[in-house]
Structure 1
Amino acid sequence: MNNKNYFIVASLLLGFSLSHTAYACTSTESEPNDLESQANVIDCANTTLAGSSKRGDIDWFSFSTSENGEISIRLDHDSRDDFDWALFGETGNAILTGETSNVPELGSITAAAGNYYVKVTRYSGRGWYDLTVNYPTEPTPPAEDCGYGFTPAIPSDLTYWQTGNANDACGALTSGQGATLLMGGGTDVDSAFTGRVLPHIGNNQDVVILRTSGSDGYNDYLSGLLNADSVNTLLVDSRTLANSDYVAWTIKSAEFVFIAGGDQADYLNQWHNTQLQDALQHVYDKGGVIGGTSAGMALLGGSVYDPDGILGAISDEVVTDFCHDTINISQGMFSNNLLANTLTDTHFAERDRLARSVVFLGHLAAGSNVIAADENTSLYVKSNGESLVDGSGAVYIFKETATTERQQLSCNAPVIYNNIERLKLIANQQINLNTGSHNGETLSVSIDGTSNRYYSPLNPY
Structure 2
Amino acid sequence: MPRLLPVFVCVAFATLNAQSNYEHNVAGNAQDVQRPTRSGFVLMGGGRDVEAAFRWMIERSGGGDFLVLRASGTDAYNGFVMKLGGADSAETLILKDRSASSEPFVLERVKNAEAIWLAGGNQWNYINFWKDTPLSKVLQSAIDRGVPMGGTSAGLAVLGEHYFSAEHGTIQTADAVKDPFHPKMALGSGFLRIPPLAGIITDSHFAARTRQGRLLAMMARLNARGLGVDERTAVLVEPDGSGVVAGEGKAWMLRGTAPPEVCRKSSPLTYTGVELIRVGNGQKLDLREWTAETTDRTEISVLEGAVLR
Whether these two folds match at TM > 0.5 is yes
Structure 2 residue matching 1:350: 3-state secondary structure: coil
| Change in CA separation of 1:323 and 1:285 when aligned onto 2, cut-off 3 Å | same
- 1:392 is matched with which residue: 223, 248, 251? 248
Q: Which residue does the alignment assign to 2:270? A: 416
Aligned equivalent of 1:239, options 82, 98, 113: 98
Return the offset for 1:262. 0.6
Structure 1 CA distance for aligned equivalents of residues 268 and 290 of structure 2: 31
Counterpart of 2:81 in structure 1 is 222
> Residues 250-270 of structure 1: CA distance to partner in whole angstroms, max 9, x if unpaired?
011111110110111111111
Q: Is the 8 A contact 1:155 1:241 kept in 2?
A: no
1:339 aligns with 2:193: no
Aligned length: 294
Gapped runs of 5+ residues in structure 2?
A: 1-16
- Are 1:190 and 2:42 matched, yes or no? no
Deviations 1:108-153 (A, max 9, x none): xxxxxxxxxxxxxxxxxxxxxxxxxxxxxxxxxxxxxxxxxxxxxx
- Are residue 455 (structure 1) and residue 302 (structure 2) matched? no
Task: Give me the whole-angstrom Cα distance separating, in 1, the residues matched to 2:277 and 2:106.
Answer: 38
TM-superposed deviation, 1:226: 4.2
**2:228–2:253 Cα contact (<8 Å) kept:** yes
**What residue is the counterpart of 1:255 in the other structure?**
114
Equivalent position of 1:433 in the other structure: 287
Contact persistence 2:57–2:149 (CA under 8 A): no
Structure 1 CA distance, aligned partners of 2:26 and 2:264?
50
Deviation of residue 311 (structure 1)? Answer: 3.0
Aligned to 1:372: 228
Q: 2:144 maps to which residue?
A: 285
SS at match of 1:396: strand
Q: Distance in 1 between matches of 2:85 and 2:108?
A: 21
Q: Which amino acid aligns with 1:289?
A: P
Q: In structure 1, give the amino acid aligned to 2:57.
A: V
- Deviations along 1:18-39, one digit per CA (max 9) or x if unpaired, are xxxxxxxxxxxxxxxxxxxxxx
Per chain length, whose mean CA-contact separation is higher, i.e. which structure has more relative contact order (CA < 8 Å, sep 6+)?
Answer: 2
Letter in 2 for 1:344: T
Query: Are 1:382 and 2:241 matched, yes or no?
Result: no
Q: Which amino acid aligns with 1:421?
A: E
Look up the match of 1:128: none
Higher strand share: 1
- C-alpha RMSD of the superposition: 2.0
Superposition misfits of 4+ residues, deviation over 3 angstroms = none
Distance 1:414 1:164 in 2: 53
Q: Are the aligned partners of 1:155 and 1:244 in contact in 2 as well (CA < 8 Å)?
A: no
| Structure in which a larger fraction of residues adopt helix | 2
Highest Rg: 1 or 2?
A: 1
Percent of residue pairs bearing the same amino acid type = 29
